[in-house]
Structure 1
Amino acid sequence: MTSAVEANCDGLVGPTHSYVGLSPGNLASTRNAGEVSNPRGAALEGLAKMRRLYDLGMPQFVLPPHERPAVGFLKQIGFSGDDAATLEAAWRTAPALAAAACSASPMWAANAATVTPSADAADGRVHFTPANLLTNLHRSLEGPQTSRALRRLFRDELRFAVHDPLPAQPHFADEGAANHVRLCADHGEAGVNLFVWGREAWERWDGQFPARQTREAFEAIQRRHGAARAVFPRQARAAIEGGAFHNDVVCVGSRACLFFHERAFEDRGLMEREVRAAAEGLFEPALVEVSEADLPMADLVASYLFNSQLLTVPGEDRLVLLAPAETRDNPRAHAVAESLATSNGPIGRVEYVDVRQSMRNGGGPACLRLRVVLTDVELEATNPAQRFTPGLHTILADWVQRRYRDRLAPADLADPDLLTESREALDELSQILDLGGDFYPFQRAS
């Protein structure tokens, strides 16, 4: 058996973290639109979560924020002048487009890409397909820079394959690992890949909220990666209508454990049969289901119980669930979470983490990370400057304290000083993380 670990690549919250309400179907994003955010607090919360995982013995990496405001996008759609003038004109005449150009949504790295570890890939490399995220305008801007970021972290082409995003067409709408679950006996062994989709490409979708992931997108990724033992369960329409815009709002899995809500899958029985058939001879799946009676959808979405991280912690024989503080604060969700440890199942205990700034935009602990299974050799082939350590934590916390605002109203996104502040911050960050002097678009334009 090849030794491997599940590393977490967390998105660092950007300086323009705000509550503008850009994401239909994300109930928290809609509910908090117009409120004042705290970018500094959000970034420090994210760093504290990374530190907790490091302290638990988990390999942890930092993914950099994207350049925002995305002035290049505004120039592509006809705004002109110097960068400050371009931003001013966009806010004056097309504020919805300007707001999209300022979104800090790349912080939710679960949407960065779909990942196939070398144990499952046909060519023995780790494969990444950055998500095109075309359902929402503000997120559709991310693909090219995400590709660049992944290629800086996973530079060795003999061990890693970072593909381009799928074609930017509705037929191939792709939201990344937020809709993907991998089950296995051990991270280094062959696994079963669940590619969860919301609609088919030619299907007439008439739901209140968009079904963001197509089956055809995941089928293309499975072919591209050569991912073995793939199953394609459908996300329940009731889940999407209830505010589960990604599968990771209603389901999380790690090792042999699939922890999910009763309404996660359109055909729960079919999902189980297909998973068990794919896992036959490899491992026995442990399916842990929570009923609607125990946790109604409204409490599920409010608490984000399933948008937790399931962790294989060194020295512990059962999984650890790292849940948001909102799970602890919701009586129904808290009761379900605490019952896991006493059930003698695969989840041994629960920890809670404060990521409230992210949660107010609908992103829990699982949204903030991209999971990548790496062998010891692959781990050593990554960019060492992006690997989280206590020393890097100190450097980044100081950087955030100096560079980020602690109060940002949506109207403040039009401030030309924020453009300058953000670029100065990101220029320094590119040096801290050894990303190169050409990593960001503004660096290449200068």
Structure 2
Amino acid sequence: MTHAQEVNFDGLVGPTHNYGGLSYGNVASMTNSGRASSPKKAALQGIRKMRALMAMGIPQAVLPPHERPHGPTLRALGFTGTIGQMTEAAAKSSYPLIANMMSASAMWTANAATVSPSADTADGRAHFTPANLGANFHRSIEAEQSERTLRTIFADEHHFMVHDPLPYGGRMGDEGAANHGRLCPRHGDAGVELFVYGASAFDSKAKELKFPARQALEVSEAVARRHGLDAVRTVYARQNPAAIEAGAFHNDVVSVANGPALFFHEQAFAEADRMFDDIRRGADFDPVFVKVPADEVPLEDAIKSYLFNSQLVTLSSGTMALILPEDARENAATYAYVQALINEGGPIRETHYFDLRESMSNGGGPACLRLRVTLTEAERKAVRGRVFLDEALADALESWASDHYRDELYPADLADPLLAEESLTALDRLTTILDLGSIYDFQRA
């Protein structure tokens, strides 16, 4: 066994955080479309959560927001001039267009990439495949920046391999770690990697769902091949179409894995028994399956409360804990189930609740805000930039967000050229704080 720790690389909420309602199939995003947002509150809530988890002994790191408005895409669409001028022109041309250009959805870093730790890969390096996010236009423009940011932070090729995003078109969508889980006895041990897909990209006879299945089987298989995973320790499971129809647009809305445990809703998977057998076949440890019955927590309540889109973590004491949003405490069915779960003495022994409403109203819980990266001590030393959270960095980030972010942002404000300039000024300052150099297109122009 190699000693390793799982580090939560949390995405910082961007200065253009707004409720554009751009994600079809994401119930929270669709429901809150058009509301006023508070970018400052959203960013500070996320930083407070990181600080609290750090105090629990859970290693934290940060990933920066993406450049918004996205200048390269605006120019590719024929707009010219300064970033402010392009923003005004794009808004006059089409409000939905500027809403896409201003989307801060890159804060959901669970969608940034799929990560396989060095304990699982053939070449003994940690592998990253940035997600192509082909299901939505506003997210598809994230892939290039995600790749560049990951290549900057994980630049040491002796320890890390950052791949190009997979090609996409049709149904070849890759939604990243939100459809990936890993079971292992300890983080530094070889584990079983679980890839959950909605459908085959090439199944012409597949039933059309109310909401689209965003992750393709062929994409999951390609990521596993790239990462050099052991076929016996790699499991593919189809998401239950009923879960997708109910609004579980990513599998992490209905299941989450940590250590040897898989915590999941009864209606999460299409063929759960086969999946359990495949996991047991690949594991040299005893996996633990914690099923939440539908008659105790209906699927609608699980999705609404983000019970499974919570973080399932192992504390420094070795205790497993759920990091939950306040929504899970306020939902009667979810709260009653969680209390019973803790009292029954299973693998999950603690709960911690956080107010993340500002970001969650755009469609994702605590789990969406971070990318899980397992690192050995040598790999941790090879990480570049000032990205590991400590009290000084947390203070600096809170001051930065307080100085640069707006208290309120209305849909009409997305057309404001001053907002565009404020956003790039904030990101330019952030790269100095994080010592990442010129990672944005506007810095490299």
TM-score (norm. length: structure 1): 0.97
Q: How does 1:303-314 map to 2 (within 5 A)?
A: 303-314=305-316
* 1:44 aligned partner: 44
What letter matches 1:236 in structure 2? N
What letter matches 1:189 in structure 2? D
Q: 8 Å contact 1:68–1:422 — kept in the other structure?
A: yes
Q: 8 Å contact 1:340–1:349 — kept in the other structure?
A: no
Deviation at 1:383, TM superposition (A): 2.2
* 2:359 aligned partner: 358
Q: How does 1:28-427 map to 2 (within 5 A)?
A: 28-204=28-204, 205=206, 206-228=208-230, 229-279=233-283, 282-316=284-318, 318-427=319-428
Deviation at 1:384, TM superposition (A): 4.8
Offset from partner CA, 1:232-277 (integer Å, 9 cap, x none): 0000000000010000000001000000001100111111111111
Please, which runs of 5 or more residues in structure 2 have no aligned partner?
none
What letter matches 1:247 in structure 2? N
SS at match of 1:367: helix
Q: 8 Å contact 1:180–1:196 — kept in the other structure?
A: yes
Q: 8 Å contact 1:171–1:216 — kept in the other structure?
A: no
What letter matches 2:154 in structure 1? F
Whole-angstrom CA distance in 1 between matches of 2:113 and 2:138: 16
Offset from partner CA, 1:6-30 (integer Å, 9 cap, x none): 1000000000000010000000000
Deviation at 1:52, TM superposition (A): 1.1
* Count of matched residue pairs: 441
Whole-angstrom CA distance in 2 between matches of 1:276 and 1:65: 39
What letter matches 1:387 in structure 2? F
Q: 8 Å contact 2:197–2:239 — kept in the other structure?
A: yes
Q: 8 Å contact 2:106–2:139 — kept in the other structure?
A: yes
What letter matches 1:74 in structure 2? L
Offset from partner CA, 1:259-312 (integer Å, 9 cap, x none): 000110011111111111111xx1111000011110111111110000111111
SS at match of 2:238: coil
Identity across matched positions, percent? 53
Offset from partner CA, 1:379-427 (integer Å, 9 cap, x none): 1111251110000010110011110001001110110000110111111
Q: 8 Å contact 2:83–2:421 — kept in the other structure?
A: no
Q: 8 Å contact 1:340–1:347 — kept in the other structure?
A: yes
Deviation at 1:79, TM superposition (A): 2.2
Whole-angstrom CA distance in 2 between matches of 1:127 and 1:170: 26
Deviation at 1:193, TM superposition (A): 0.5
Whole-angstrom CA distance in 1 between matches of 2:90 and 2:35: 21
Whole-angstrom CA distance in 1 between matches of 2:83 and 2:11: 26
Whole-angstrom CA distance in 1 between matches of 2:10 and 2:68: 18
Q: 8 Å contact 2:171–2:214 — kept in the other structure?
A: no
SS at match of 1:65: coil
Whole-angstrom CA distance in 2 between matches of 1:80 and 1:96: 19
RMSD: 1.0
Please, which runs of 5 or more residues in structure 1 have no aligned partner?
none
Deviation at 1:80, TM superposition (A): 2.6
Whole-angstrom CA distance in 1 between matches of 2:82 and 2:312: 47
Q: 8 Å contact 2:179–2:250 — kept in the other structure?
A: yes
TM-score (norm. length: structure 2): 0.98
Whole-angstrom CA distance in 2 between matches of 1:68 and 1:138: 11
